[in-house]
């Protein structure tokens, strides 16, 4: 269980480091906490509650993360919108944490690599 939490923190840190280097409002600490929290909710739902339904916890994490994501999206006076990528990063880092908490280490790691490639190689939408 501890390995799952530590891996979730490490994967969140990888994405968070890139966001911090890009001088984005959501960076290293926040993304570590999001990934680690999602992993802990998953681990706790699987191991702490006998007969519980982990899929309900996953759904709850997704809904909760939606509120965080919505909080970083801003509408400009010019009519433009900013923060969509940041909101997407919050969403996918929570998914990485959920996958890690569920023991899906390979898919969580592959997803982290994909996210990093997107963030580093596709700078402009």
Q: Which two tokens stand for residue 103?
A: 């023991």
pLDDT-derived band at 9, boundaries 50, 70, 90: very high
Helices (H), 1-122: 2-21, 28-47, 54-71, 84-101, 105-121
- Burial zone of 26 (CB within 10 Å; 0-12 exposed, 13-18 middle, 19+ buried): buried
Interval 16-42: pLDDT, tens: 999 999 888 888 999 999 999 999 999
The DSSP code for 76 is -
Work out the average pLDDT over 54-59. Answer: 80
Least confident of 5-9, 19-23, 80-84: 80-84
Q: Residue ranges of the domains in the chain?
A: 2-121
State the virtual CA torsion across 125, 82, 107, 42 in degrees, nearest 10.
-170
């Amino acid at each position: 269980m501890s390995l799952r939490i530590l891996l979730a923190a490490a994967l969140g840190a990888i994405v968070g480091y890139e966001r911090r280097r890009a001088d984005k409002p959501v960076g290293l600490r926040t993304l570590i906490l999001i990934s680690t929290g999602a992993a802990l909710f998953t681990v706790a739902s699987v191991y702490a509650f006998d007969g519980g339904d982990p899929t309900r916890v996953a759904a709850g994490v997704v809904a909760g993360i939606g509120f965080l994501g919505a909080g970083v999206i801003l509408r400009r006076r010019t009519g433009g919108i900013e923060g969509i990528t940041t909101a997407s990063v919050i969403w996918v880092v929570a998914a990485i944490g959920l996958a890690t908490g569920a023991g899906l280490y390979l898919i969580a790691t592959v997803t982290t690599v994909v996210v990093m490639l997107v963030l580093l190689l596709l700078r402009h939408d």
